[in-house]
Structure 1
Amino acid sequence: MYQFFCGVNNRNLGRYRRSTRAVVGYLFAAILAVPAHADESQNTTMTLGSAVQLALSENPELQVYRFRELGLQGLARTANLRPQLELSAEAENFGGTDDFNGTDGAEFTLALSSVIELGGKRDARVAAVHSQRKLFDGERQALALDLMGEVTRRYVDVVAAQARLDLAANARTLATEVVESVERRTQAGAAPEAELLRARAQLAQAQLQVRTTQNRLHASRLSLSVLWGDVEPDFVRVDGSLANLGSIGDFEALFQRAVENPAITSFASEERLREAELQLAQTQSRTDIGWSVGIRQFQDTNDTALVAGLSIPLNTSGRNAGALQSARAARDEVSVRRESAMLALRARLFEAYQQRRLGIETASSLREDVIPALTRALQQTQAAYESGRYGYQEWMAARQELISAEYALIDAAAASLQNGATIEQLTSEPLLPSLEPGSSETEQETE
């Protein structure tokens, strides 16, 4: 998937945008459209595809690469230049005494000079810049993948915040119903006034929780919008659901795909760059021959003659030994850093994989076993309270257990999706390739 990010620049950004929707659909197809509560009057909605497009085209960190691209173009032009020609003029034997007084005995020389580069220096310079461009492309790809992963994680944060706001609104509605039920029992003399006071206090807390969740939702939207440079989000909600988490997959298969991550393949590009720099340093050990050719005029005889010369520096190989040693050390260092990066990549991927597995298993258990049981328990407890068989404390405990389980489901599902985004970022490929964008009815079997 990272190949789509090779050309995130002005020249082909339009082509990239045309293909982004399909790519982003696979980036995290588990996020599906579901409305969320919002108090704002606006009705603008952000999609994951739009968020990624905005980030890739407007993110300030990615914009730096435009200037780096221009810098590399300048380096390539400079590296391809041939040795410069120099025009020199020289005057001798004038302004002296006796026969050399004035310019009667002067000699004037006009010469053209340059150097002959030996050892393939020009080709080595061009090769070094070309290798630097390969490394630059890999870094840009890695940054684009990192940015897409961060956009997806923050997008999931917004989806989760919307789900929490839905749950807080539902809890407020339930608290209102509790107050109404307790009021009826209190008026009938079947419950003490203290229970009504406690119910009203819990309603106030539920209202406070809604306001707190609204603030957190706004903060999560802002955290997402700053990725494309907006200091204030221009959308109210995002399309998304925490219902479909996909399958866990096989770790070794994921790791084999992660080896092709630009952050790892860029080491090969860097190694080629260091090798090119070593070749360039080796060419500097070859002596360049300086030459000059011109014409000389003798004022005293009014004659002219051609002049030519060669210059060869001495002991240049010894003077270049330090540069060769430094270039070899830089080249050999790359392989060591690559091995270290591979270990770090495997550890990070395994952690994300395990956390995703835990999130999927937790969410499945909560959704299929815990929440249905707590829902039935709350219904039975409420009925028992209204018939006088249970006290208010048992009813509130059952209600709080259900709400806590629903919050835990949101947390587990969000963690699973965020770790899935990290896995996609590390593997440079969609985690759920069988899902089509917008296939809200598709269900993935949890392995």
Structure 2
Amino acid sequence: MKKPIVSLFLLACAVGSAWANDGGTETFKSPKQSLTLKSVLQKTLEQNPQLHQFDFQRQTLESLRETSQLKPGVEFGVDLENIAGSGNAQGENNAEITVALSSVIELGDKRQSRLSVMDARLERFKFEQQAQTLDILGEVTVRFIQTLGTQEELRLSKEAIKLAESFYKVVKKRAERGAASDAEVMRAKAQLVQSQVQELSLQQKLLRQQVALARFWGDTSRKDFELEGNLYAFGSDLSFDTLFEKVKRSPSLQVFASEMRLKQAEIRLAKTENQADFSWQLGVKRAQDSRDTSLTAGFSMPLFSESRNKSRVNAALAESNSVAYRRTDHLLALHEQVFNAFSQRQQHITVYRKLSEAVIPVLENALALTRDAYERGRLKYQDFIAAQQELLAAKKQLIESARSALINQVIIEQLTAESIADYGYSRKTHR
């Protein structure tokens, strides 16, 4: 793809440097291949088959433009008269042969109008390419976020296993002292196994998401990799009115502006047909019987061209008017989409902040107190289990809120074609 497209999306859709950063965020330390959002987008731009189809579409349009700027061709013709007849016209003695050149002189600036139409088509293609590139890379970014979220869920599952193992040891010690029943030991063991099963399930889910993500850059080798990024960096907040103003300048709406220019060019081209073209012919005629030669010339021009072309002009005008209404309808749909994404992003960020600042710290403290009380025999088995499950559920909700906030952020950036990410490197993580 051309560099302007790369720059456009790296600016617009990179949930970017704020959370797909150079390490130090919520990542796993292992020898696996590490991929940031920037590297994933770059690999997609360079290797995605769907994006490379644009090159061939552009070549097609450029070839059609070269054809449209050609002048009418010159034709060579031969006319034979008075041959293979009867009576005095038998044989070739009375034959007359005319060799002529003919062509058309275009009137009404048709050639320039054709070029204007093709230039408008190329311009519309440019914005369509940008809009479709944003769509594809937006989908890649969403897949990246979903996979990054699964990595966080897998980390949380490891934490759940450690809690289950620790709790199992506590219950066994109490059972050895006669302070807990064998049933509690078995339930604690079952909880540990369930935590391990959940980890296996998440590992398979992560593998499926990695395969789906690698598809965008044509990789079917199933290489083991991990994603590097901070799921909890949301960038800056902009007002909805500011975002919607950006939408009005986005490629998805520029497509309609370029299509309007295309329709206007098509109207001008249709109107040029009101002025008929001038056809001419110039040749040499030879009579076989007398061996004489003479020059021939002729011309022709269609009559009533304007009245016959009226319906074509009206059709082009109708198509032009429809573009304006389709643009208005599309703008209204974008208004709704951006507002929904804006509202949900704000909602999920609020939930995330409440969980991280007011809920999880309290539940972590409550779990520690509950464990101590259980070991002393002051609380029941169910109290410890409830405290543990509440903490894990809150941390899972934290991951879901962060993931949903970022996905809605990508939708906003995709629709506005501008980044709202904070380009500072946030390293705040949650354990």
* TM-score tier after normalising by the smaller chain length: over 0.9
Identity of aligned residues (%): 36
1:362-400 deviations in Å (ceiling 9; x for gaps): 101100110000000000000000011111110110000
Query: Pairwise mapping of residues 370-385 of structure 1 onto structure 2 (< 5 A)?
Result: 370-385=359-374
Structure-1 separation of matches of 2:280 and 2:6:
54
Q: 1:407 aligns with which of 375, 383, 396?
A: 396
User: Is the contact made by 1:45 and 1:235 (CA closer than 8 Å) also made in structure 2?
Assistant: no
Q: 1:18 to 1:344 in 2, by over 3 A?
A: closer
User: Is the contact made by 1:107 and 1:296 (CA closer than 8 Å) also made in structure 2?
Assistant: yes
Tell me the residue number matched to 1:4: none
Tell me the residue number matched to 1:161: 150
Query: Pairwise mapping of residues 396-435 of structure 1 onto structure 2 (< 5 A)?
Result: 396-432=385-421, 434-435=422-423
Tell me the residue number matched to 1:281: 270
Q: 1:26 to 1:351 in 2, by over 3 A?
A: closer
Q: 1:414 Cα shift?
A: 0.6
SS in 2 for 1:390: coil
Query: Pairwise mapping of residues 7-18 of structure 1 onto structure 2 (< 5 A)?
Result: 8=1, 12=2
Structure-1 separation of matches of 2:81 and 2:6:
68
Does 2:252 match 1:258? Answer: no
Q: 1:334 aligns with which of 323, 336, 355?
A: 323
Q: 1:321 Cα shift?
A: 2.2
Query: Pairwise mapping of residues 288-299 of structure 1 onto structure 2 (< 5 A)?
Result: 288-299=277-288
Structure 1 residues 283-292 or 312-321, which shifts more?
312-321
Q: 1:233 to 1:250 in 2, by over 3 A?
A: farther
Structure 1 residues 305-314 or 102-111, which shifts more?
102-111
Q: 1:342 Cα shift?
A: 0.6
SS in 1 for 2:61: helix
Does 2:163 match 1:177? Answer: no
Query: Pairwise mapping of residues 145-294 of structure 1 onto structure 2 (< 5 A)?
Result: 145-294=134-283
1:109-151 deviations in Å (ceiling 9; x for gaps): 1100011111111111111011001111110000111122211
**TM-score between both structures, scaled by the size of structure 2:** 0.94
User: Is the contact made by 1:381 and 1:390 (CA closer than 8 Å) also made in structure 2?
Assistant: yes
CA RMSD in angstroms, aligned pairs only: 2.1
Tell me the residue number matched to 1:72: 61
Q: 1:307 aligns with which of 280, 296, 300?
A: 296
Query: Pairwise mapping of residues 102-141 of structure 1 onto structure 2 (< 5 A)?
Result: 102-141=91-130
Structure-1 separation of matches of 2:235 and 2:92:
94
Does 2:429 match 1:440? Answer: no
Q: 1:47 aligns with which of 36, 57, 67?
A: 36
AA aligned to 1:296 is K
Tell me the residue number matched to 2:85: 96
Structure-2 separation of matches of 1:69 and 1:279:
24
Structure-1 separation of matches of 2:8 and 2:405:
27
Structure-2 separation of matches of 1:153 and 1:17:
18
User: Is the contact made by 1:110 and 1:294 (CA closer than 8 Å) also made in structure 2?
Assistant: yes
AA aligned to 2:356 is R
Q: 1:19 to 1:264 in 2, by over 3 A?
A: closer
Q: 1:441 to 1:44 in 2, by over 3 A?
A: closer
User: Is the contact made by 1:24 and 1:49 (CA closer than 8 Å) also made in structure 2?
Assistant: no
Structure 1 residues 311-320 or 353-362, which shifts more?
311-320
User: Is the contact made by 2:12 and 2:414 (CA closer than 8 Å) also made in structure 1?
Assistant: no
User: Is the contact made by 2:14 and 2:38 (CA closer than 8 Å) also made in structure 1?
Assistant: yes
Tell me the residue number matched to 1:356: 345
Q: 1:375 to 1:26 in 2, by over 3 A?
A: closer
User: Is the contact made by 2:108 and 2:275 (CA closer than 8 Å) also made in structure 1?
Assistant: yes
Q: 1:128 to 1:247 in 2, by over 3 A?
A: same
Structure 1 residues 23-32 or 134-143, which shifts more?
23-32
Q: 1:104 Cα shift?
A: 2.2
1:24-75 deviations in Å (ceiling 9; x for gaps): 766462334335459xx86111111111112222223222212211210221
User: Is the contact made by 1:24 and 1:52 (CA closer than 8 Å) also made in structure 2?
Assistant: no
SS in 2 for 1:49: helix
AA aligned to 1:435 is Y
Does 2:335 match 1:346? Answer: yes
Structure-1 separation of matches of 2:27 and 2:179:
39
AA aligned to 2:363 is L
Q: 1:165 Cα shift?
A: 0.2
SS in 2 for 1:190: coil
Q: 1:322 Cα shift?
A: 2.2
Structure 1 residues 368-377 or 145-154, which shifts more?
145-154
Structure-2 separation of matches of 1:353 and 1:232:
38
Q: 1:219 Cα shift?
A: 1.8
Structure-2 separation of matches of 1:22 and 1:334:
29
1:64-97 deviations in Å (ceiling 9; x for gaps): 2122112102210111111111101112223334
Q: 1:107 Cα shift?
A: 1.6
Structure 1 residues 153-162 or 297-306, which shifts more?
297-306
SS in 1 for 2:191: helix
Structure-2 separation of matches of 1:307 and 1:369:
99
SS in 1 for 2:136: helix
SS in 2 for 1:243: coil
1:257-299 deviations in Å (ceiling 9; x for gaps): 1111110111010001111111111112211111000111122
